[in-house]
Chain A
């Protein structure tokens, strides 16, 4: 029974990873691609590691630490990448309507 649950979780995780890959191919600009890649792969990793915990109950603690690590690092690194892309003025998709960072930047525009 535990193996079936674990397999289903790993399959779900693989599905999310697939959608991440699909997003990388199909999204129009760097920012949306990054968003697709990060969000889907974070959830995909979490699900796969959780599924592994069902297969090997002895590894559970280490896997929880790994999940915590992925949850901590993935968003931070993609945030930094997106910010760097914004700084070197990589163009956004034409459909973009809101640029929250530009509005927030106004007070310290002089230094940028």
Chain B
């Protein structure tokens, strides 16, 4: 009885806290000056309707490159830490992964292509709507995770993954250098024609960078997932 009463009191108190938050909320009447400048500049200057992707892959593309490098280091670090543990557990036969049930295997067969198509959609529409390379790459890695859950014995081709990832990274930097030569600076997207605003092939090099980023992130996260299994 006391428990129930205290739960009720706690819920009511939480309700009061959030009610005061909601009552005092005033939406932004106008954008702050910096945001306003970006919102005007990105569609005009870069030809990308999605302001966020436009900023991430041009003005702050160097920062994005750094983030991808951090992800690469995470993959390397996870590999380093888990490698020693792997050897130890190999001796006991009990840690052998169990076969997944038939429902999971069939479900994975249907879902993996669907998830991969969705990932490609997210990556390719990064400059038009919500999405982009990072998100799409994470979705690719989730399809790889499902594949591994359905068949734990499966071996991923790690050499292929890491060389694909390296090639994508090198191409990303090369596009940036091309911007240095052909346009205004490193990773400037105007090395390619901006095209029609809002079209599928538009916004200069942003879709290309998006694809490279998606491939790179997808490969990196897949390698990390592969390292985590016993």
Q: Within 8 Å of chain A (Cβ to Cβ): is B111?
A: yes
Q: Within 8 Å of chain B (Cβ to Cβ): is A2?
A: no
Q: Is the CB of A72 within 8 A of B111?
A: yes
Chain A contacts for B95, CB-based, 8 A? none
Question: Count of A residues near B, CB < 8 Å?
Answer: 8
Q: Is the CB of A83 within 8 A of B110?
A: no
Q: What separation, in Å, do the CA atoms of A75 and B110 have in the docked complex?
A: 14
Q: Is the CB of B103 within 8 A of A79?
A: yes
Within 8 A of B (CB), among A68-86: 69, 72-73, 75-76, 79-80, 83
Q: Is the CB of A69 within 8 A of B107?
A: no
Q: Within 8 Å of chain A (Cβ to Cβ): is B199?
A: no
Q: Is the CB of A79 within 8 A of B101?
A: yes
Mostly helix, strand, loop or mixed at chain A's interface? helix
Minimum distance in angstroms from B111 CB to a CB of chain A: 6
Contact with A along B92-107 (1 / 0, CB 8 A): 0000000001011001
Question: Count of B residues near A, CB < 8 Å?
Answer: 8
Minimum distance in angstroms from B37 CB to a CB of chain A: 32
Chain B contacts for A69, CB-based, 8 A? 114
Q: Is the CB of B114 within 8 A of A76?
A: no
Chain B's closest residue to A87 (CB) is: B98
Q: Is the CB of A72 within 8 A of B101?
A: no
Chain A contacts for B110, CB-based, 8 A? 72
Q: Is the CB of B104 within 8 A of A80?
A: yes
Q: Is the CB of B111 within 8 A of A73?
A: yes
Minimum distance in angstroms from A78 CB to a CB of chain B: 10
Minimum distance in angstroms from B139 CB to a CB of chain A: 12
Chain A contacts for B111, CB-based, 8 A? 72-73, 76
Chain A contacts for B149, CB-based, 8 A? 80
Q: What separation, in Å, do the CA atoms of A83 and B149 have in the docked complex?
A: 14
Q: What separation, in Å, do the CA atoms of A75 and B103 have in the docked complex?
A: 9
Chain B's closest residue to A83 (CB) is: B101
Chain B contacts for A80, CB-based, 8 A? 101, 104, 149
Minimum distance in angstroms from B157 CB to a CB of chain A: 26
Chain B contacts for A75, CB-based, 8 A? 103
Chain A's closest residue to B115 (CB) is: A69
Within 8 A of A (CB), among B85-134: 101, 103-104, 107, 110-111, 114
The 3 closest A-B pairs by CB, nearest first: A76-B107, A79-B103, A80-B104
A→B interface (CB under 8 Å): 69, 72-73, 75-76, 79-80, 83
8 CB < 8 A contacts A-B? A69-B114, A73-B107, A76-B103, A76-B104, A76-B107, A79-B103, A80-B104, A80-B149
